Structure 1
C-alpha cells in the first residue's frame, strides 16, 4: 500500500470505530460501544505513528 492509502485506511478505521461506538451507545449495547472505542483508538494510534514517521523522514 502507498502512504496515502495507509493514511486513508487509518482514518476510515477511526471513523468506523467512532460510528460503532455511538451506535452501541444508542442501542445500549456496551460490548459494541467498547469495540468501537478500541477500533477508534487503534486507528488514531496508527495515524499518530504515521505522522511521527513522516516527521522523521524529513
Structure 2
C-alpha cells in the first residue's frame, strides 16, 4: 500500500468516525449518516490498496 493512499484512507476513516460521533452526540441523523459514509469510503480505499499489494507480489 502506498504511503500516500494509506494516509488518505486513515484520514477518511478518522474524519468519518469524528463526524459520526458528533452527529450522534447532538442528535443529528444526517451528520451521523455522512460520518458513516465517509468511514466506509476510507474502508473501501484501504481494501483497494491492500488488494493492489496482494497482486504486486
TM-score by length of 2: 0.94
Aligned to 1:42: 41
Q: Which runs of 5+ in 2 are unaligned?
A: none
Aligned to 1:9: 8
Distance in 1, Cα, partners of 2:8 & 2:41: 12
TM-score by length of 1: 0.93
Report 1 or 2 for greater relative contact order, CA contacts < 8 Å, sequence distance ≥ 6.
Answer: 2
Q: Runs in 1 of length 4+ with deviation above 2 angstroms?
A: none
Distance in 2, Cα, partners of 1:13 & 1:34: 14
Q: Deviations over 1:3-58 (max 9, x none)?
A: 20111011111110011001000000000000000000000010011001101100
Give the CA RMSD over aligned residues.
0.6
Q: Which runs of 5+ in 1 are unaligned?
A: none
